[in-house]
Structure 1
Amino acid sequence: MLIHEDPALPHAAPPQGMSRRQSLRSIGLGAAAAMVAPQVVLAQAATTPEPPSTVTTPPRSFAPDAPPNVYFWDPDVIAVDPSFNGLAQPNAPIRRLWTGALWAEGPAWNGVGKFLVWSDIPNNRQMRWLEDDGHVSVFRAPSNNSNGNSFDRQGRQLSCEHLTRRVVRYELDGSITILADRFEGKRFNSPNDVVEHQDGSVWFTDPPYGGQLYEGAPDAPGGRSNPEGRLNNRLGQPPEIGEAVREMDHGIYRMAPDGAITRVGTQDQVANPNGLCFSPDHARLYVASTGAGPGDNGQGGTGEIFVYDVAGGALSNPRVFSDCMVDGVKCAPDGLRCDVNGNLWASSNAGRAVGYNGVTVWSPEGNLLGRIRLPEVCGNICFGGPKRNVLFMAASQSLYAVHTATQGAGPS
């Protein structure tokens, strides 16, 4: 689904004076006018039209047995800058590998086992896709409503658990180690995403999104996500979950190789920190800032990507890397990954602006290089495959993949 906005192509640019979004709307209204009576069209014109159900025209199928739809560039992989042509693979189609989740998140590639693991948060399970035959099965259930996953340099899986408000590591012998569940004696909110630094330290974000029924458990009565106590947070949960309440603001944390935990980023710097990743040289940390969560006061994050400088296990100079506005549409970020050239790939949640959901790709200077359009909101991404040149995209209910002409930086 790489759409290349080549000025030589008739579909590349909207009519003069119109934004791309406006031109897409005009196409949709034109199609509606050809199919419905005039009085219905007039009625629709007076209200906001419903977004299209597909992002391509004519509609395409993403099913494994779909008819061929790519003869060179996939129509939904979009080169905004010519340099993106060197990152996208021209004869590679976007594939939907599987569907059936309630909210897919946290994809991570295991290079030894040649499989992808990801979280289906509301279903309280982790799923696995096998590279050899595409088989999908439940990998771990219950998963404690796990969200972000990654593999460290020893091949051990790191997972952020919403329900238990902790970060765990699955050891090679099958045992589980709790890496972090408290900071200065207080419970974490709901660790969200986790990555390893090349020095062996583990870095993770801690927004409050697990403090709800759908993706974890609300606070005990009186807590910030259950102030009136109307929700019974014990229903369907282990007894030890019952007393947990939100105790801290948002934060970004580092666990040193010796186990010491420090808060390296604050809520005042980045509200609602979500996905995170290091640049290839580990001199930068990128962090996605997303919207307000359960128990938050105020608007929360506003859908931007921030970047810090990294040195000596500390962060400095926080600044906005991108506001994630594309053609006047907010492509709110969540999961982040860098390629070996230092370009940042970010999942995109544009809501009902269907043609802007998927992935945005940014240069190290923060310039938009290209987009990948998906028919669903994309929550998180990672590079994988035996050559680490496949971009996997966990998008709402489904898992998608597309081959690229670059490789992801470091382990997934």
Structure 2
Amino acid sequence: MSRRALAGVAGAAAATVVAGRAFAQQPPAAPPAAPPRPATPPSTITTPPREFGPNAPPNVYFTDPDVLTVDPSFDGLRQPNAPIQRLWTGALWSEGPAWNAQGRYLVWSDIPNNRQLRWIEDNGRVSTFRSPSNNSNGNTFDFQGRQLSCEHLTRRVVRYELDGSATVLADSFQGKKLNSPNDVVAHPDGSYWFTDPPYGGQLYEGTPDVAGGPSNPDGKINPRLGQPPGIGTVAKRELPTNCYRIDPSGRIDLVVTEEQVPDPNGLCFSPDYKTLYVASTGKGPGDTGAGGKGEVYSFTVGTDNKVSNRKLFSDFMIDGIKCGPDGLRCDVFGNVWVSSNAGRNVGYSGVTVWSPEGKLLGRIRLPEICGNVCFGGPKRNRLFMAASQSLYALYVGVQGAGPG
């Protein structure tokens, strides 16, 4: 064999060895790829957080990520595949939602803008319902379909009659001017029960006292600025922060004192009207005491319309976070749905839901502080939530109790 042929054979053998070594050093084949994991729906605590508006992308994969079950019994109260929806935004401080069943619309207050707004179910349109509203706060409808409103500016409770006129139901107690009625509920016996804290005694939501009054002690604030004639000239805080009952005869009775519930705010009855729930919120303008601590108390309502058996329903501490209550409503099973103000604790503002015994059942997380709630819709199975600048809604698996 020639030298050239011998070199060729040797080279081919060497190449075969190198190729074999190279093949032997290749990594083993990768295992088959795992199936993709389902996407996690966005929530108020994801980054970036979800969108809630009418044109937001889909965010519900069977259950809304911001409707949280704490106790398994809550699963029977929530509605699968129902998203939290922001119906409208553009207020300064939303409060007092109330559902008109005959008209199929929701009315609520935008307190600093001195107006009431109306959301109509058939087309989702929002319009100004009443302006000025005298800085109204809480609203409801009674058993005859008449709207009741608590007015901060005029420090009174009014009823809008079916013929279009308005009746002043309460503006004083024992000759002394009310503070700033906050929330009101109707009773089947024809009476109305309301709270009277001092929160309207400030520039943003009403008008301060005249000079020397508790919310204007040095007189440097002019309560007449920007007001109609007669407003801000004589009114000043004269009463403790109490709860009252307006009898069908027109008589006004004291039912819950400031010592029992300081700074009373939202209130509601149980479905059988044998229990009254009252929220006690923070210190208000002109308070000389400690003020409320963000709690809800329950009372037994007697046949004589007197309350007894005061109990702390909840202190609203959840996971170490203070979820301050404000407005509240009961469903037909007696569960209490309470708006939540957790400040900057993202994921804890919205709504908390409690059993009649005071056990936390579930939570609804909103991206804004919630001031008040009500049940509505034709079947009364839609929870409306007035939250800061916006109005939210969520279909639930239960009906609300009572009108309004």
Counterpart for residue 347 of structure 2: 355
For 2:75, what is the secondary structure of its paired residue? helix
Task: Pick the aligned partner of 1:255 from 246, 250, 269.
Answer: 246
Counterpart for residue 165 of structure 1: 155
Q: Is the 8 A contact 1:343 1:363 kept in 2?
A: yes
CA shift, 1:319, in A, is: 1.5
**1:63-102 alignment runs, 5 A limit:** 63-102=53-92
**1:229-308 alignment runs, 5 A limit:** 229-241=219-231, 242-308=233-299
Q: Is the 8 A contact 1:278 1:286 kept in 2?
A: yes
2:289 and 2:240 mapped to 1: Cα distance?
A: 13
Amino acid in the other structure paired with 2:248:
P
Per-residue displacement from partner, 1:307-362 (whole Å, max 9, x unpaired)?
01001211111111001110010100000000000000000000010210000000
Q: Is the 8 A contact 2:95 2:371 kept in 1?
A: yes
CA shift, 1:55, in A, is: 2.7
2:190 and 2:162 mapped to 1: Cα distance?
A: 17
1:58 and 1:385 mapped to 2: Cα distance?
A: 32
Counterpart for residue 5 of structure 1: none
Q: Is the 8 A contact 2:244 2:254 kept in 1?
A: yes
Unaligned runs of 5+ in 2: 1-37
CA shift, 1:58, in A, is: 4.7
Amino acid in the other structure paired with 2:354:
W
- Is 1:62 equivalent to 2:52 in the alignment? yes
Q: Is the 8 A contact 2:70 2:362 kept in 1?
A: yes
Counterpart for residue 336 of structure 2: 344
Counterpart for residue 313 of structure 2: 321
1:56–1:385 CA distance, 2 compared to 1 (3 A): farther
Larger CA deviation: 160-169 vs 64-73: 64-73
CA shift, 1:54, in A, is: 4.1
For 1:85, what is the secondary structure of its paired residue? helix
For 1:84, what is the secondary structure of its paired residue? helix
1:57 and 1:114 mapped to 2: Cα distance?
A: 37
TM-score normalised by length of structure 2: 0.88
Task: Pick the aligned partner of 1:402 from 388, 394, 404.
Answer: 394
CA shift, 1:227, in A, is: 0.2
- Is 1:218 equivalent to 2:218 in the alignment? no
**1:45-60 alignment runs, 5 A limit:** 54-60=44-50
For 1:405, what is the secondary structure of its paired residue? coil
Larger CA deviation: 305-314 vs 391-400: 305-314
Amino acid in the other structure paired with 2:329:
R
1:56–1:402 CA distance, 2 compared to 1 (3 A): farther
Q: Is the 8 A contact 1:106 1:149 kept in 2?
A: yes
Task: Pick the aligned partner of 1:132 from 91, 99, 122.
Answer: 122
Moved over 3 A (4+): none
1:160–1:108 CA distance, 2 compared to 1 (3 A): same
**1:95-244 alignment runs, 5 A limit:** 95-241=85-231, 242-244=233-235
Counterpart for residue 411 of structure 1: 403
1:161 and 1:374 mapped to 2: Cα distance?
A: 27
Aligned length: 363
TM-score normalised by length of structure 1: 0.87
1:57 and 1:374 mapped to 2: Cα distance?
A: 15
Counterpart for residue 371 of structure 2: 379
Unaligned runs of 5+ in 1: 1-8, 12-52
